[in-house]
Every structure is written in C-alpha cells, then in structure tokens.
Amino acid sequence: MAAFLVMLREGVEAALVVAILLAYLKRLDRTAEAHRVWLGTAVAVLVSIAAGAILFATIGELHGAVEQLTEGIIALAAAGLLTWMIFWMSRQSRAIKGHLEARVDSALTSGGIALAAVAFFAVLREGLESALFLISTTIGEDANTAQLVGGVLGVLGAVIIGWLVYHGGTRINLRVFFRITGGVILLFAAGLVATAIHEFQEAGVLPILIEHLWTLDWADPGGSTFWEFMKGLFGWRHNPSLLMLAGYFGYLIPIGVGFLRSSGTPKVQELVQS
C-alpha cells in the first residue's frame, strides 16, 4: 500500500507536468512538437528506473552495520524529501504552469532537442524521487511482489488521472486528492523517521535507552496481514523503542500541524486548463 501511495502521488505530479506541456502545445497549435515531450518523458523514466535499480542492487550488496546505516540514511532522506514535496506543492503549484509554459516558449525558439529537455528534466526529478521512495518502502524487510505490484498500480493510476485531466472528460478534484494523499504520506514519512532511528540503533550510532516500551504479540506484523499493512504504510512496530516513538511523534506533531495550517492550498486542477 505504501508503494502504491507514493508512486501514485509522484506519478500524478509527473503526469500533470506532461499534461501542462501537451495542453500548452495544443493551445499554441504546435501539436506536431508533442513527440519531443514524449521523447523527453520516456528517457527520464528509463533513467529513473536505471538509477533505482543501481541503488537497490548496491544496497543489496551491503551487510551489517554499513547496511543498517545506509538504510537509515535513505529512510531519513526519503522522509525529508516527502515533507519538502508536500509543502512545496501546496505553496508553489500555482507558479508551475507559468514556469513550464515560459520554458516551452524558449524551447520552441531554440528548436531541436530543447523541448524534449524541458520534459526530461521536469519528469526526471519526479522519477528519481519515486525511485528513492519506492526503495524506502523496502527498508527493514525483503522486497516482495506486493511492493512491486503496488508501485506499478500506482504509476498506472497516475497515468489514468493525467489522461483524464488532460482530456477534461472527467472532473477530478485534484485539490482534495493532494490534500488527502499529503496527509497519509506524512504518516508514512513519520514511519520512515522511526525506521531510520531503528536502523541507526541497530548500527550502534544511536543509543537504545529503553529497548521496548511495550510488546504486543497480537499486533506483530510478522503474524498478521493487517499489522503488516500497518507497518508498511505507517511504520507500525509492536515493540518500539523510546527513541523510535519519540522520533515518530516528534516529526508527526509539528509537521502535521504545519500541514493542516498551511495556507493557499493549491487548486491544482487549474494548472492544466487550456
């Protein structure tokens, strides 16, 4: 579920970028240039997949404290990027359309590969973030088919939403979509902070203090599909340490309050109006 959610969220952002570019070309009556947008998008996707595969393979070769330290750093970096992504989208999304259209105007005068480069760099950022986030969902456990399927389904869902937004055949309240997914992703990010602390404790970088504040055997993710789901999405632990719990709520409370109080919630559906 976590893989599905983060890939859906990131995928929708990438799909909106492509939709903005295509809609602007259509408005300029330059649809013949659309293939350059698709070229840049395709190359960005391939580079992101390659980068994710290399990072995943590299982590798989690590062992012991080095592996735990690396996984902790990745979890913390992913939590930071997720937080930045949510607040950036809520504050800057109104400027995305104008910024991309200005870059398209400049690219059309330059000709050649310039338009493909606009799509490439815009989508590449989302793709690299997606690769990092998808890898972060596997920290502390073996990658499995469910995570892969969840990620693929998230991307497919994003493609469908992007297509619907571009063609305007169905009204999708993207403002509500980003608000809801943003709130759930903050819970996921809080779980990543707790996971990072756990990995740092395993590596000996952070002290244990109180190893287990409680132990709830009936809520062990290893023996229940529901609690396994809770672990994957929200970072649930049936026997958390003191620092893990402190890190979870130390992140969630101030960041969550900031998210709820953030002003200027984006009307993202306005971004792709032609």
- Give the least confident one: 1-5, 18-22, 133-137: 1-5
Give whole-number Cα distances, 23 to 30, 168, 262, in Å. Answer: 10, 11, 29
Number of domains into which the chain is organized: 1
Q: What is the pTM of this model?
A: 0.78
Local structure of residue 270 (DSSP, 8 states)? G
Q: Write the CA distances from 167 to 88, 158, 164, integer angstroms.
A: 26, 14, 5
Please give the angle made by the CA atoms of 89, 125 and 251, to the nearest 5 degrees: 50
Side chain identity at 78, as an amino acid letter? A
What percent of the chain shows pLDDT beyond 70?
87
- Phi, psi (degrees; rounded to nearest 5) at 170: -135, 135
pLDDT band at 107 (very low <50, low <70, confident <90, very high): confident
Confidence of residue 270 (pLDDT cuts 50, 70, 90): very low
Residue 112 lies in a domain: yes
Evaluate whether residue 272 is within a structural domain.
Answer: no
Q: Is the pLDDT of residue 44 over 90?
A: yes
Confidence of residue 269 (pLDDT cuts 50, 70, 90): very low
Higher pLDDT, 95 or 162: 162
For the stretch 56-93, pLDDT in tens is: 888 878 788 888 899 899 999 999 988 988 887 766 66
Domain extent at residue 245: 2-266
Would you say residue 106 lies in a domain?
yes
DSSP state of 141: S
> For residue range 205-234, what is the model confidence (pLDDT) as tens digits?
999 889 898 998 888 887 777 887 787 777
Dist CA 160 CA 165 (whole Å): 9
Task: Confirm if 133 and 13 have CB atoms less than 8 A apart.
Answer: no
Q: Which residues contact residue 269 at a Cβ distance below 8 angstroms, ignoring those fewer than 6 apart? A: 165, 172, 173, 174, 175
* 273 found inside a domain: no
H helices of the chain, in order, are 2-27, 34-60, 64-110, 114-136, 145-167, 174-202, 225-234, 242-261
Helix axis angle, 64-110 to 2-27, nearest 10°: 10
CA distance 102 to 15: 19
Mean pLDDT of the chain: 82
Summarize pLDDT for 152-207 with one digit per residue, the tens: 888 888 888 888 877 764 556 667 777 888 888 898 899 999 999 999 999 999 99
For residue 47, what pLDDT band results from cuts at 50, 70 and 90?
A: very high
Residue 112 to residue 248: CA distance in whole angstroms: 49
Percent of the chain at pLDDT > 90 equals: 19
- Is the residue at 274 inside a domain? no
